[in-house]
A and B are shown apart, each in its own frame.
Chain A
Amino acid sequence: MSAISLRDLDIAYGDTRVVEGIDLEIAEGESFGLVGESGSGKSTVLRAITGLATEWTGEISLYGTPRGRTIDKRFAALCQMVFQDPYGSLHPRQTVDATLSEPLAIHGIGDADRRVPKMMEACGLDPRFRFRLPHQLSGGQRQRVAIARALMLKPKLLLLDEPTSALDVSVQAEILNLLKRLRKEQGLTYVLVTHDLAVVSFLCDRLAVMRQGRIVEVADIAALKTRSMKDPYSRELVEKSASRLT
């Protein structure tokens, strides 16, 4: 059974069709990269899966169950998301403790005093930060809180929308390592949206390239590493990235 199954997915924003004809199967336990430039619609696909975007047609299924257009607790316990901007994805007035306790409170899960410090440790957060506000944390620390928050409900599926794009290079490496480790430890399925092909190369097993709302190619990660993508647009993207990297 696939973790995510997308069939003939079309997503619109008002009058414009932003994403067209997406067919995709993502296996359980897989790490899947969705790449493209801005405007390709990759983030929109994530938003449709989560229910944040509701104007879509086609089929979205999670672990065999078709997805509706609402966000209920069952979905929340199954699938969570990490956003791009560590400065915008944490409530500015809530401490780390409050942010991490909130999902537990919503689902009526007790024992926050034990679970919160444990998750902080698992995500590499110093326990001294527990009652700090977001503006007292660095970008990397905020992103760790965002990841910790996403994992509080022990989801099976994690959607990551450009999780390291807004971070410094040196911090990016730490977060990428953390994501890789967590996936191995907890057997998570990842869908990673990014414009950075090198990040995909490090974290993912397979990838799909999107362009102007459509998927132009789906390939194994080996094709990216050996620069043997088939579609001309994919090849162009790889070339442009390669020319900037050592």
Chain B
Amino acid sequence: MSTRDWLLTESPASRMQARLGRSYRVMLALLHNPLAVVGALIILTLVVLALFAPWFATHSPYSGQLTERLLPPSAEYWLGTDELGRDIWSRIVYGARITLVIVLLVAAIAAPLGLVIGAISGYFGGWTDRILMGITDIFLSMPKLILALAFVAALGPGIENAVIAIAITSWPAYARIARAETLTFRNAEFIAAIRLQGASAARVILRHILPLCSSSVIIRVTLDMAGIILTAAGLGFLGLGAQPPLPEWGAMISRGRVFILDQWWVATMPGFAIVIVSLGFCFLGDGLRDVLDPKGGGKQ
């Protein structure tokens, strides 16, 4: 039996085979969507650039030759140089690491937090629901950037604080989604059946309800990543995110603002990077939604 047949078989013979088969099907379905493929390739490029930055960068991202400042794109400096003579391409490549770290950390903090709060809120209902959703609403009602600003202003600028600030403003949306999904399933017969087996509330939520909410949250997180990148860039732009000389894309745009009329590449190259990566996440998120959305008929 070929690997493909083994993965797609109707009757898997082990847990591993069933799980791998499901992942394979999702992947196949995604590959049918050209935009999703584009998105996935962009993200893959981002990851590869970040992981292997030293191999892709042509110059040092931190030190530059002052005699080479503000040069336009050329064969030596692919995207030109900035006001301190540093190669913009190399800075963008190393900046990819920062972007990736921010995005992953925010997702890793905000998504599980939102999921658990939303699921608990939806499952128990009553006062638990009211209190938790009240707290969620308070966070939801604050404009993201302002709250992040306030947070960073209080704790001081820097990547870690920027990450925490963005994560704090992101989790409420996931809580709402998780709660909505939980409400759909809370009264389903299969949940009743599991409760009847003597499962504790914690077990029901963790093992049975959370997996059902995860698809929606994954889709939302992927789509949100564009926004997270922009918020981080916004913070960087305001000087509150990554500090110099770190090559954070938003900070780069901020520095390049002054030169935008005559040396447009200093600001717009990092801008392109942000746009392309955001688009990549949006395409991928859309593709995932088509594949994973239970109402849309995707059976994974």
Contacts and interface: CB of A to CB of B under 8 A. Distances in A.
Per the CB under 8 Å rule, do A and B touch in the complex? yes
Interface of A: 50, 52, 71-73, 75-77, 80-81, 83-85, 88-93, 95, 97-98, 102-103, 106-107, 128-133, 135-136, 146, 149, 153
B12 A132 contact: yes
Given A95-B15, A95-B18, A71 B190 contact: no
If over half of B's interface residues share one DSSP class (helix, strand or loop), that class is named, otherwise mixed; here it is: helix
Nearest to B203: A106
User: Chain A CB within 10 Å — which of B194, B208, B212 has the most?
Assistant: B194
A186 to B, nearest CB: 18
B11 interface: yes
B197 A103 contact: yes
A150 B299 CA distance: 25
A206 B283 CA distance: 62
Contacts of B197: 76, 80, 102-103, 106-107, 153
Interface string B271-300: 000000000000000000000001000010
Contacts of A80: 196-197
B195 interface: yes
Contacts of A84: 189
Contacts of A77: 198
A91 B17 CA distance: 19
Interface residues of B, number: 27
Interface string B201-240: 0010001100110000000000000000000000000000
A131 B189 contact: no
Nearest to A89: B189
Given A83-B189, A106-B198, A93 B15 contact: no
B14 A131 contact: yes
B261 interface: no
Contacts of A50: 196
Nearest to B195: A71
Contact of A81 (B196, B203, B207): B196
A83 B17 CA distance: 30
Nearest to A81: B196
A93 B191 CA distance: 12
Given A73-B198, A95-B18, A107-B198, A128 B189 contact: no
A72 B196 CA distance: 8
B11 A128 contact: yes
B232 to A, nearest CB: 33
